[in-house]
Structure 1
Amino acid sequence: MAKGLCSWAWLRKPYYIQARFSYMRMKYFFFSWLAVFIGSWVVYVQYSSYTELCRGHDCKSVICDKYRKGIIDGSACSSLCDKETLYLAKCLSTKPNNQVYTGNWGDLEGVVKCQMEEIVRFDLGAEMEPRKEAILFDKPTKGTSVEKFKEMVLSHLKAKVGDQANLMDLVSLIISVADGNKDGHISLPEAKSTWALLQLNEFLLMIILQDKEHTPKLLGFCGDLYVMEKVQYTSLYGVKIPWLIELFIPSGLRRSMDQWFTPSWPRKAKISIGLLEFVEDVFHGTFGNFLMCDMSANNFGYNEKHDLKMVDMRKIVPEVSFKDFIRDRHCDTDDDCVYGSDCRTTCDQTKKRCTTEVGQPNLAKACQSLKDYLLRGAPSEIHEELEKQLYSCIALKGTADQMEMEHSLILNNLKTLLWKKISHTKDS
């Protein structure tokens, strides 16, 4: 009997091994198929996202077609379209309508920006800037004199930054930039390019702040495509993580990780002083007040000397333009009265319209962005005072006009505290 059972076990063993082998093979096949499927899906999503976001070829084609037809001209046109010494490299676009690429122009490294497509209507989630088909390079028209063009520019600036006594100085700056080939004359194609560029907040701000340390330099333009100085480090803090991994990281841990990957504290202090100085530059500057409507870390960068450099200024808008944009806009709650992520007004519930006064000044928003950045790793002897000053800064409310003295006092106190701590170090 025992011998029979033993024989039966030996007969069943090959079947058991064969069944287990088949199960393992099916399991291997399933997981291999699953890996291929997920990999293919990721590649497809990435490719679709890239082709939608990165349309530099289309942008160049439109610009160069207009240039070759004699419609537009500018300091970068020949290099982009004829000599091809200016070419687009890595795509940095985050929106299809705003094409952003690193660019090489001979020995220069820069960032190339180009507008695409028309905005059907303006809303608070959209840009406050028209795109290419809305401009069409149709102004100024043939026969327009230089004097008439200057009048057009002056009228536009009055609407954009407000009627000020010194606007003719800004007109002169713009006319000097418009002369792309520096021959002392403004051609109609150069004027068309300049007019298109003047619709863009960032271009206007680069001209207004062209002599300021923290503003990237304008290197050239063609149509409404322009080339600006490249910033070496393109985010105030943070680390880039593949999006698939980022989906599984809790937001609290993600914020902590951002603060881990930062320069040493003295260098962070120097960068922060630069941001405070930039706030001064746009606060009641030579040509009016500008509102910083997106204080995201990736809008601020710095160079190898840890001097702050602006990376993206498209959401820094003239206060006059902002008020015209948001005035009498229908709303149900305060959340309907937001531009960018940081320019917020209130909703007048009796009229169901947005008011025009921004709740927080630029300085308060800058301090909010710098709070965790500066307090992490701050020397113990100034930590308490630094925290106190930052929270006083964040608490600023109302318009800058209403509290100009308090605004200046807090800003200067913060700069002084930081500078005293790092002035004797090599990082200063």
Structure 2
Amino acid sequence: MLAYPLNLTGLCRCCASSKPKLLLCIGFVIAVIFFSYDTLKRKMPTPIRCSNSASEYFLYELCGNYTKRLASGSLCHPLCTGQVTYKQCLGHGITPHVLKASWKGTNIILKVKTVLDKNLPLNSSLMKSKQFDRNYFNINANLSYIKHILDEKRIVNMETLDYMFSECAGYENGVLSYQKMWYCQALLAREFLLSVLLKDSLNVPKLYGTCGHVFAVEDAPDAILGGRFFDYRPWDTKVKLALAFLDMVERLDNTTYGTLYICDFKFANFGVLSVDSGYLVKPIDMDMAWLPSQMKRVMVKESARWCSKDSDCRVAACLSKCNQWTHHCDPDFYTNNLINTCRWIFTNAKAFRYGLFDQGVPQKIQRHLSNLLKICSTPSDEPSPPTSTSMVKDLRQVLHKSIGITFDG
């Protein structure tokens, strides 16, 4: 959106009067657009960028710690013996490092989340235990600590605990070094835990293993998403992408632990893999993804915020409402994954960027699809709204019909 209002009618008349004025007007418009873009860019947070040399040195240090037995994990041996090949560093605004590498002929993504406090908050009874000294933790104490963290996050699952134990296993004498425990703490980041808990979901990137505070997941490129000003993607491609998003919504609504709510809805946070049936969409950044109990806690925390309007009450794409009597946000949310998919993926017209259905919709379905998307993208009047199965069915039907496929429900 431009920073200054323009009288387009007057501007066009001015430009049409003479060639010099036309050139002057064009220069003025370009200057305004550039200034507006520059102003917006300055207000946006600068992403953390990393160089290849810094990334390679980081991996060198990690393997040094592995050699010294200060880092462990199933990925350490292949990473530090040349089986994993570093390819490039990917810039990111929150995560300190996101690196692309190759392993067994497949691209993988190495992620490093913010390391937790080095001073482990062990309880006093453990500190006084004979199993504890200044440099080591007993494995049983280590498991107790991990379970404590999982309880705090309201994620209690023996399979997860077993996974953490295998990844952060101690030495043969049954102890785990302080430094090694520090690395294992970092593995308790939300995205790592969700990758473990939801490892059986088709729409969650596969977890390949860990080394210290690094974990590796499959690479799901996002290049096919996000239409630009000139959107050359065929209609068939757009339809298959949309159907893949609807499949993702349904699967994330029905995980073993309930719905996985994605709140950071933007093209860059989703990757796409080609499959026999079309495409498979996966969230590739789950820093703002929550299971039901976690989502509730996040919204309750947000309810303490002062507000004057509904738009003040939001966690990224997940919206709440402002109570006009108390001027505090409602401790609930009024969007779900389907609503956010319609709001931010299917329709999201911005300067030089478009949603899947902002351009190139066949005329025969324009009105029908537009009406569906208008309803689909509207936040609910009810808290914690379930996904509308009828809306998913209607969207699938009109999309299948547009490419000549009979929809059987």
TM-score by length of 1: 0.64
Aligned to 1:70: 69
Alpha-carbon offset, residue 366 of structure 1: 0.4
The residue type equivalent to 2:285 in the other structure is D
Alignment pair present for 1:221 and 2:210: yes
* Aligned mates of 2:376, 2:160 — CA distance in 1: 35
Stretches of structure 2 lacking an aligned partner (at least 5 in a row): 1-45, 123-131, 348-354
Change (3 A) 1:292 1:232: closer
Stretches of structure 1 lacking an aligned partner (at least 5 in a row): 1-48, 116-130, 240-255
Compare relative contact order (CA 8 Å, sep 6+) and give the higher one, 1 or 2. Answer: 1
TM-score by length of 2: 0.67
Alignment pair present for 1:136 and 2:118: yes
* Aligned mates of 2:138, 2:223 — CA distance in 1: 41
Which of the residues 177, 187, 190 maps onto 1:197? Answer: 187
Shifted more, 291-300 versus 150-159: the winner is 150-159
Aligned to 2:12: none
The residue type equivalent to 1:196 in the other structure is A
* Aligned mates of 2:238, 2:393 — CA distance in 1: 17
Aligned to 1:417: 398
Query: Per the alignment, in what secondary structure is the counterpart of residue 212 of structure 1?
Result: coil
Alignment pair present for 1:160 and 2:153: yes
Query: Per the alignment, in what secondary structure is the counterpart of residue 396 of structure 2?
Result: helix
Change (3 A) 1:222 1:398: farther
Alpha-carbon offset, residue 232 of structure 1: 3.8
Aligned to 1:331: 306
Alignment pair present for 1:108 and 2:106: yes
CA contact (8 A) 1:269 1:374 kept: no
* Aligned mates of 2:401, 2:154 — CA distance in 1: 36
Alignment pair present for 1:367 and 2:342: yes
Aligned to 1:321: 294
Alpha-carbon offset, residue 387 of structure 1: 2.1
Alignment pair present for 1:94 and 2:89: no
Aligned to 2:19: none
Aligned to 2:256: 286
* Aligned mates of 2:175, 2:372 — CA distance in 1: 53
Change (3 A) 1:93 1:333: farther
* Aligned mates of 2:48, 2:389 — CA distance in 1: 47
Question: Of Structure 1 and Structure 2, which has the larger fraction of its residues in helix?
Answer: 1
Change (3 A) 1:416 1:388: same
Query: Per the alignment, in what secondary structure is the counterpart of residue 221 of structure 1?
Result: strand
Alpha-carbon offset, residue 58 of structure 1: 5.8
Aligned to 2:166: 179
CA contact (8 A) 1:215 1:310 kept: yes
Alignment root-mean-square deviation, CA: 3.7
Query: Per the alignment, in what secondary structure is the counterpart of residue 72 of structure 1?
Result: coil
Aligned to 1:56: 55
CA contact (8 A) 2:304 2:328 kept: yes
Alpha-carbon offset, residue 344 of structure 1: 3.0
Aligned residues: 329
Alpha-carbon offset, residue 356 of structure 1: 2.2
Alpha-carbon offset, residue 152 of structure 1: 4.6
Q: Which has the larger radius of gyration?
A: 1
Aligned to 1:11: none
Query: Per the alignment, in what secondary structure is the counterpart of residue 413 of structure 1?
Result: helix
CA contact (8 A) 1:290 1:319 kept: yes
* Aligned mates of 2:193, 2:217 — CA distance in 1: 13
Alignment pair present for 1:395 and 2:385: no
